[in-house]
Amino acid sequence: MGPGVRRVSSLCPVTYDGAALRARLERAATTTATAGLDALLVSPGPDLRYLAGYDAVALERLTCLVVPATGAPVLVAPRLERAAALASPIGSLGLEVVTWDEHDDPYALTASLVPTARRVAVDDRMWAVKALALQAALPDATVSAAGVVLRELRMRKDAAEVEALRRAGEAIDRVHARVPEWLRPGRTERVVGRNIADAILAKKHAHVDFVIVGSGPNGASPHHELSDRVLQPGDAVVVDIGGAMPDGYCSDSTRTYSIGVPEPEFADAYAVLQAAQEAGCATAAPGVPCEEVDEAARRVMRDAGLGELFLHRTGHGIGLETHEDPYVVAGNILPLEPGMAFSIEPGFYRDGRHGARIEDIVVCTERGSERLNLTPRELVVLDV
C-alpha cells in the first residue's frame, strides 16, 4: 500500500519463457474475440511486459503492440527503438516489428494494421494523448479500455508467477527483519526510509516502489510520505515497503513496531488487529467472494469497536503491479480462484495519535491460501 520513491539498481536482465509468452498472446487474442473486440492496442507498461516480455520505456513516441482477434500480433515502434525491441523477448518470439520514422504518423500506421476494426481496446495505462490520437486515427471504431480482457488473464497467476511472487515476498521479509536496527529514537523517518530503500535494493529488488515510515501521529495516515519527524520513545511506527524484482513481480508488506512499551489502549487494539488479519487469511479460499474476505477481517474490528478506524479495503491484487485485480473490498462478489494473489491488510488509524497495519501477500491455492510473507505479525516492541 502506498506511494514512494523509485530507486533503480543495476541487476541483470531476466530470461523469459518464450512458450509461456506465446501462450499468453494466444489467450489474449482468444479473450479479445470472446469479448467482441477486434483488437487490443497495448503501450509500454505492465500489460506489454506481461504479454510479450518487453519492458519498453514509456516515451512520447508511440510504441504499441497490436493484438488482433484473428491474425498475428505486430509491434509498432519508433525506428530508433527497433534494436531495443528485438533485443527483448520480442525478437525470440518472432513478432513482426513495424517501425516508423520521425516524420511519420505512427497512429495512422497503427490504424492501418486493423483497417476493418470496429471495436478496439487500449490498455488501461495508455497515456490519454495516445488513446485520443488512436481514436482519431480509427474514426469508425469504438475505443474502450482493455482491462476487461487483460485483467482476466493477469489476475490468475500460473505456477511460475506464484513462484516469482514467493521470491519477492521472501526478499521483502529479509528487509523487515532488519528494520528494528534502524528504528531508534533521535533518527528521522527520512533517514530510516533511506536505510530501508538501500536494503530493498540489496535484497535483490530491481527498484524500490515505496517506503512508508509512519511514526507516532504520522502512522494515522495510511499513505504517509517520509518526513523529517524525529522518532521518539513511545512511538508506534507503521512500516509499509515494497519494490519490484528483476522479473517485474512486486513485493508489498507492512509490519508495525513500537519504540518501547506501547500504551495499553494501543496494545489492546493491536491484538484485535492481529485477530482481524488472521480472520481474513483464514477465510481466503477457492470459491469465496472477495467481499467475504473483507467482511471477515472487518467484522472482527467492528465487534471490538474499531470498525470506524478501519479506513480502507482489506486488500488488493498484486503481480506486475503493486495494485491490480482482484480487490478485496465490499461489493466485489468475484469468487477467488487458485492463482489469484492479493494482500490482506487491515489497519486502524486514530487521527493525530497513531496507526497500525498488518499486511501479508496471500495466494489462493487449490485447498485454501498460502501466505507469502512470513515475518512475525505480533507487534514488534523495541528496547529503548
For the CA atoms of 63, 93, 204, 46, the dihedral, rounded to the nearest 10 degrees, stands at 40
Segment holding 340, helix H or strand E? none
**Is residue 4 assigned to a domain?**
no
Burial 277-291 (b: 16+ CB within 10 A, else e): bbbbbebbbbebbbb
Is residue 144 assigned to a domain? yes
Boundary of a domain, candidates 107, 134, 154: 154
Q: Are residues 199 and 348 in the same domain?
A: yes
Q: Is 316 among the domain residues?
A: yes
Domain final residue pick, 108, 133, 154: 154
Same domain, 357 and 285: yes
- Same-domain status, 39 and 56: yes
Q: Are residues 129 and 178 in the same domain?
A: no
Q: Are 194 and 220 found together in one domain?
A: yes
Find all residues with CB under 8 Å of 177, minimum gap 6, and list them. 375
Domain holding 192, by residue range, is 159-382
Cα–Cα distance for residue pair 188/213, rounded to 1 Å: 9
Domain end (from 121, 154, 187): 154
- Specify whether 124 is located in the same domain as 173: no
Please indicate, yes or no, whether residues 312 and 195 belong to a single structural domain of this protein: yes
The answer to whether 54 touches 88, Cβ cutoff 8 Å, is yes
- Looking at the structure of the chain, the number of domains it has is 2
- Domain of 147, CATH number, reads 3.40.350.10
The answer to whether residues 141 and 166 touch, using CB atoms and an 8 Å cutoff, is no
pLDDT in tens, the chain (384 residues): 654 444 444 344 455 789 999 999 999 999 999 999 999 999 999 999 999 999 999 999 999 999 999 999 999 999 999 999 999 999 999 999 999 999 999 999 999 999 999 999 999 999 999 999 999 999 999 999 999 889 999 999 999 999 999 999 999 999 999 999 999 999 999 999 999 999 999 999 999 999 999 999 999 999 999 999 999 999 999 999 999 999 999 999 999 999 999 999 999 999 999 999 999 999 999 999 999 999 999 999 999 999 999 999 999 999 999 999 999 999 999 999 999 999 999 999 999 999 999 999 999 999 999 999 999 999 999 998
Read off the C-alpha cell for 315: 486488500
Which CATH number do you get for residue 215? Answer: 3.90.230.10
311 and 372 in a single domain? The answer is: yes
Task: Convert the pLDDT of each residue in 289-307 to its tens digit.
Answer: 999 999 999 999 999 999 9
| 123 close to 47: Cβ distance less than 8 angstroms | yes
Q: What pLDDT sits at residue 2?
A: 55
